[in-house]
Amino acid sequence: MPLVRNGKIAGDEFVHVADDAEIPGDGAILISSARFLADAETLSRRAGKTGVIWPNNRDVDDLVPYLDRLAAVALVFPIFRDGRAYSQARLLRERHSYKGELRATGQVLRDQFVFMLRAGFDTFEVRKESDAEAFAQTAKRYSVFYQPTGDGRLTALHRRMQQRHSESAGQ
């Protein structure tokens, strides 16, 4: 499955470690939330990068104490019409100031890229090769946005205000 990171197809440095497999001391790993929470203090301090796959039906509040020690959080779209992880992503980025990698996993298709970028995702496990290849182009599909999110894009309302102010300043 192709990985898109910061806008480009990239290799995945993280290894998915199953719940019954041994956790290596170093190297970047992605583990389940259950495994992580069972020993969060130790795991979040291991030498290698640690990332957690967080289910979309569990409050992200439970993850908050460890956020600054996590290298990645992977949120899940079990089917693409299940949109819970969009809220989780915004909460992690905007309310809890999470700065690490935020990864979209599951049924990730081209047609969600813009929404996901706006919600704060920067890494995508994309189902189809053709969608991954179309990432850069798809991400530019929209140039105007009605809603403010943490991605910093100016909203239409604010652009209008700026326009008004520059017009009145020019008079």
The residues binding another protein (CB under 8 A) are 80-84, 86-88, 90, 95, 109, 111, 114-116, 118-119, 130, 141-149, 155-161, 164
For another protein, the closer CB: 18 or 144: 144
Q: Measuring CA to CA, how many Å separate 44 from each of 5, 18, 61, 74, 105?
A: 23, 17, 16, 15, 21
Smallest gap from residue 92 Cβ to another protein (A): 12
Smallest gap from residue 137 Cβ to another protein (A): 10
DSSP element (H, E) containing 117: helix 113-119
For another protein, the closer CB: 52 or 119: 119
The sign of the CA dihedral 77, 81, 83, 89 is: positive
For another protein, the closer CB: 69 or 84: 84
Cα 130 from Cα 126, distance rounded (Å): 9
Task: Kindly state the tokens that stand for 42.
Answer: 């130790």
Smallest gap from residue 56 Cβ to another protein (A): 9
For another protein, the closer CB: 21 or 154: 154
